[in-house]
Each structure stands twice: as C-alpha cells, then as structure tokens.
A and B are shown apart, each in its own frame.
Chain A
Amino acid sequence: MAVVAGSSIATAALVAHGLSKRFRKKVALDSVDLSVPAGSVTALVGPNGAGKTTLIRVCMAFERPNAGRVEVEGVDPWRHRSEALRRVAYVPQTPAVYRGLSVDDHLAMARSLHSGFDATYARGRLDQLGIPVDQRADTLSGGQAAQLGLAIALGTRAKILLLDEPLANLDPLARREFIQVLLDAVRADGSTALLSSHIVTDVEDACDRLVILGGGKIRLDCPLEEARRTHRLTEADSPPAGATAVGSFLGKGGQKVMTLWRLAVVDIDGADGQSAAPETTSLEDVVLGYLAAGRGTAGLQLN
C-alpha cells in the first residue's frame, strides 16, 4: 500500500476547508485544510504563534473565521454553536478554575450548564487520581487543576476533545498522568482527540497522527508512523536519493547542520508492500525540520 501524506483514512470527526483567520494584519490561519479522523489522537504541533490555539478556538466558536469553514462531526460551530458544543469538549492551556469554588462545585456547575454532563464519571476519574472533591479548586496543584479540567471535559462525554497545550505548565510526572488519563478515556469511549503541544516527546507516545502547523499553514498532516518512515535526517551535503529537502537545523551538540529530507513514496515501499526502509527518524527531528523550514535556515548555519 502506498502511503500518501495527508490522506484521509477514516470518517473525519473534524474538518477544516480553506480556513483563514486574520487578526488585523497578522495572519493566524492561512487557508488551512485539515481532516482529523474519528477515533484518532492527533498531535497538533507548531511553534508559538503558529496558529494552533486559533485553530482550536475557531473549532470552539470562540473565533469567527475570516474565510473557509470548519465542521465538527458535520456541524459548523459558528453557525450552530449549541449543536457543535454538544459534540466537542475543550481543555484550555491554563487550567481555568473558579477560585472560590470547590472541585465538587465545578462538577455541579458543569452539570447545570451541560445537559448531558456525567458527574459520576468525572468524579470517578478524579477519585482515581486521589483529588478530593471537597477541596477548593484554587488550592489544587497545577497538575490537579489540569486533571480537573480534563475530568470536566471527559464528563461531557463529547465525541471530540480539543486540548489546547494542556501540558505546557505541568511537570513531567503530571504530564505523564494527564496523557494516561486522556488515552484511557479516548480508548474506552472511542472518541477523537486533537492535542496541541510544542513538547514533541510528550505527544510522541500518545498520538497516532501528526499535524505540523507553521506560519498559519499546515506543513505536515499524516499518521505518526508515516512521518517517521518518510523522513530522513542527514548532514546537509549528503541527501538520500530522490529526496526533497525540508529544512536544516543545528544537530545535537550544535556542531553540524542537519537537513531533514522527505523521501519519495517509491523509496519506502517495497514490491511486496513491505517497507524497504526499516530505519526511522525521530519525531522530534521531523518536527524540527519543518519548523526550521518555516523559519528559514539562515540563523542556523554554522560559522
């Protein structure tokens, strides 16, 4: 089977067509076409200002697109907000908790706002993590507050979870716990998750699909495994045959300029359909190559 980058492999849970969003002169999203397959856990990776947050906010009807459209399970969030929000749950970057309210108050509030909110399920998730529901939310640690946000999102039993860099402010242990709870829930419910992050190592084990966003454009959109197999990292002056240069950046140790190459499809598929290129490139290198491509390589050249 030929692997085609960016192909849609299943029913799409979230689709964007020519999506553009501009803030005065700054272009946040520039004709973005995206399809997130149902049941997938997709990593949305990109540098600060790449448009990750804007993309998620448009999906949540927090921002109105200037052009194009987005659909969550076929529903346009801007035109049919309440229908769309029944299908999507959101976890913001900064854990948003009400200072004067307890954890249980948060669950009560969620139940009063969202008709299908499953407080028992959310409370069960928190119990598993040992977060007392009678504790005031403003006394929770950063990791616990993030878990509360995730529990509320999971309690909505929405089919699509949009997570806007929820790991950014967490310590490594809290990050791992968060990812584990997320994966358990997604696998159990068969829901779809779009996880925005710029910490590649965190999403590497959790996600099955990678979307790299840079300068408001989609740079790469493919399954994670395909991203590893279709790219090679070499020194700048030794390109693989038939490969296309993606971007150059300083290698580990800062001594060499490394270049990420994208291999042609024929180079990685054998006649019997087995991969002829078992060696893979680390996801971090793939992401770095695309980020470097977005920035240009001038600043990365060695003197």
Chain B
Amino acid sequence: MITRIWLTFKQHRFETIAILIVCLGLTGATLIEAYRLNSLNVPLSCLAAALGGGGPFAGGMTAPADAHCLSLANSFSSIQGSVDMNLVRLLLLLVPLLAGIVFGAPLVAREIEQGTAPLSWSLSGSRRRWLLGKVLAGVVLLVPLMLAVGLAAEVLEGALDPGVDTHAAFQNYLSRGFIDVFWVLAAFAGTFALSTLLGRTMPAVILALIVCFFVRVAWEPGMARIVLRPMAVEQTQSSQFGFYYGGGPGIAVAPIGPTPSIEPTPSVEPTPSVETPSIEPTPSSEPGGSSDKSAAYTPYWVQTDLYSYTQVFLNGKPFYGDPWSLPGYQMQFDANGNPIQPDPSTMPNWVEYAVPGSQYWPVVALESGFLLLGSLIFGAVALVWVDRRRPY
C-alpha cells in the first residue's frame, strides 16, 4: 500500500507539490500575521477604548485612552485590516476546499483521460482496492496539512480577537481548528466522486467548485436554522414596530463589563412583552458569556452566537400568521390626533433564538460529523461507481 501511495504522489506530483507549498506557505503566513498582532501587546482596555466593543451601543464606555494606547490600538486596527491579513483570511476560507478539489479531481478522471485506467484495472482484481489506494494517498497528504493550517488559523483568531475565548465564540469558526480537516475531506471526497462519475478532470473541477461554493455559503445559516435549533436559546425580544436589535451573525449583544451567563434552555417560553421596548440590552439578551475573558471585553466584530431563527408570539403563544395584519400594528389616533396606545393583547412579540458560544464544541463536533458523513457518502458513491463504469 505504501508503494501505491508513493506512486500516486509521483503520478500527481504537480498537484502534490502545489498543495504542499500552498498549505505550508499559508500556515507560515498565518502564524506570521498572528505574531504581528500579538507582538503589539495591546492592552484590552486600549482596544475597548479606541475601537469600542461589547455591542453597537456600548462604545466609548471605558476610560479615556492615552496617546500611546491609541497608537497601539491603531496599529492593531491597521494590521487587522491590512491587505495581507485579508488575503490570509480569505485563503484560510478557500484553501481547505481548493486543496480537496485539486487533489480529488484528477484521481480517477486523469486515468480515464490518459487511457491508463484499462492498464491498472486489468492488473487489479478489485477496482475498489485500487481506488482506496489512491484515496488513502489523498488522506495522507491532506489531513496533516489541513490540521496545520487549521491550528495556525486558530492561533490567528486568538490574536485577532484579543480577550475572547475563541472556543466560546463563533467568529470564523468554520475556517479554523480541526473542522478544516473535515472540510478538506468533504471537498476531496465529493470531487473524486465527481471525477469517477464524469471521467473528465475539468468538468469535475468546475462542478466541484460550484457545489462547494453553494454548500459553503449555505452551510452556516442552514445548519443554524435547521440542525442547531435544539441548541438555540432566546436572545432578544421586541414588539416595536419592525424593530429589533442584537443577535445575528457578526453582531454581538454583550455589553462591556461582566455579563451574567444564561443556561441554554431550548424551550424558553417568552412572556408577552407589552411595554415599549427598550434599546438597553437585557440580561436575557446575553450571548452566553461563558468565559471571563469575553465577559471582560468583547470586540464588536466577534460573533458570539449563531443566529438561528425568529419566532413571533402573541399573548405568549406562537403566532404563525401575518403579524403586520394585527390590530396592534395599525396606528390609531384620537380626535386630537394623538396616537392611541394599542391594546397589548394585539401586539406581537418577536423573539430571536441563537446558539450561544457556550455550545461551541458541540456545534463544531456536530458540523464536523456532518462533513465526515458527507465524505463517507461521496466515497461510497465513488466506490460503487468505479466498479461499474468503463475505463475509457
């Protein structure tokens, strides 16, 4: 088997070397970027004062920053927004998928295109064993490389979000850590399945790129809204006319300072809110706050929860009709032209649910499991099809 793995690398030497260079280069670049940020040693108070944090309404609540503090914070901010940093972050997002596609596409298709499949298949009694040898080569190459990339991305995330426990927040959670390994496996398995089905390299690459793009874009909202609903807890409530605040990807609702944590209670029944909603964050709107670090300072850009879904309640019961048709939303005026306070029982109550950061590890484990399941299904499709297809 070692001979076959080695020969697979030799046969696909261009792809192997390209993936090695890109992954090792990206790992190095990511660690350098993290080092640049960490070496600034910016105190959290400086970042909090200069950049704000803890939510869109919490900026400027800390002590005034001195000039040095501001300078450090500005340096931090400029590195954070630099072109090279953005390029590294973009590559961290794309490389797991691209590496899987690049190695997976020619695996079977090139043998068919170059007419070598009949030679191999006539020598090997089992085509499945032949394919497994090639797949194993892909796994041996991609898994350690992507683990290195993912761990480097984890280090960078810690540097980008100072004071935040990156394992209790969902900022870039799909492109760092060991989940990268499962992304590359899914892309690799999906692409070599396409390669086996189509028998052509370029069509397999193009189709895999399209599928990976849509899956990657739809993954986070899809998982949060469909699969992760049991983990979601109540985040915000509002009955104001079309207005709500907090929650949602990229919008933190934690204020500066210690925040009370809430237990994830999936079946929270909201009480009907009849008061005019306040824009002040309420304790029930906290996103978990499971770590002391995030309680101390949460940069405004950190995604502390996963927006899951919104439910409309009326008199404490789920309401599935058109909330805009309720009488509470029809503005009434008295004879003097003053607005009449609507009947509270006719006012709908919007409640947003999100998966809190305290559920980070269960979420990552679940989503990794889904990616692994997808990889196994793609692999099974390829193994079945390679046994049935023609070698030309």
Report which A residues bind B (CB closer than 8 A): 60, 62-63, 81-83, 85-86, 88-90, 92, 94, 96-101, 105, 108-114, 117, 149, 152, 156
Would you call A62 and B125 a contact (CB within 8 A)?
no
Q: Which among A96, A105, A113, A152 is the interface contact of B124 at CB below 8 angstroms?
A: A113
A-contacting 9-mer, from B52-60, B115-123, B136-144, B186-194: B115-123
Q: Which among A83, A88, A98 is the interface contact of B122 at CB below 8 angstroms?
A: A88
Would you call B7 and A62 a contact (CB within 8 A)?
no
Closest-CB distance, A239 to chain B (whole angstroms): 45
Q: Which among B3, B115, B120, B391 is the interface contact of A111 at CB below 8 angstroms?
A: B3
Report which B residues bind A (CB closer than 8 A): 1, 3-4, 7, 10-11, 13, 114-116, 118-126, 130, 133, 390-392
A88 to B7, CA, bound (A): 24
Would you call A82 and B7 a contact (CB within 8 A)?
no
With A62-B118, A96-B115, A97-B116 as contacts: A113 and B123 at CB distance below 8 Å: yes
Closest to B4 in A: A112
A83 to B11, CA, bound (A): 28
Would you call A82 and B125 a contact (CB within 8 A)?
yes
Nearest 8 pairs between A and B by C-beta?
A: A82-B125, A90-B122, A113-B124, A113-B123, A96-B119, A112-B3, A114-B123, A96-B115
What chain A residues lie within 8 Å of B1 (beta carbons)? 112
Closest-CB distance, B119 to chain A (whole angstroms): 4
A89 to B11, CA, bound (A): 23
Q: Which among A94, A97, A101, A152 is the interface contact of B7 at CB below 8 angstroms?
A: A101
Q: Which among A100, A110, A111, A113 is the interface contact of B10 at CB below 8 angstroms?
A: A100
What chain A residues lie within 8 Å of B118 (beta carbons)? 60, 62, 90, 92, 96
Closest-CB distance, A203 to chain B (whole angstroms): 22
Closest-CB distance, B63 to chain A (whole angstroms): 64
What chain A residues lie within 8 Å of B122 (beta carbons)? 60, 85, 88-90
With A62-B391, A99-B114 as contacts: A82 and B126 at CB distance below 8 Å: yes
What chain A residues lie within 8 Å of B123 (beta carbons)? 85, 109-110, 113-114, 117, 152, 156
Would you call A109 and B390 a contact (CB within 8 A)?
no
Would you call A152 and B114 a contact (CB within 8 A)?
no
A90 to B392, CA, bound (A): 15
What chain B residues lie within 8 Å of A96 (beta carbons)? 114-116, 118-119
With A109-B3, A112-B4 as contacts: A86 and B10 at CB distance below 8 Å: no
Name, among B3, B4, B123, the residue most crowded by chain A CB atoms within 10 Å (CB to CB): B123
What chain B residues lie within 8 Å of A81 (beta carbons)? 125-126
A152 to B124, CA, bound (A): 12
A109 to B390, CA, bound (A): 21
Would you call A62 and B390 a contact (CB within 8 A)?
yes
Would you call A109 and B125 a contact (CB within 8 A)?
no
Would you call A83 and B125 a contact (CB within 8 A)?
yes
Name, among A109, A111, A114, the residue most crowded by chain B CB atoms within 10 Å (CB to CB): A109
Closest-CB distance, A150 to chain B (whole angstroms): 12
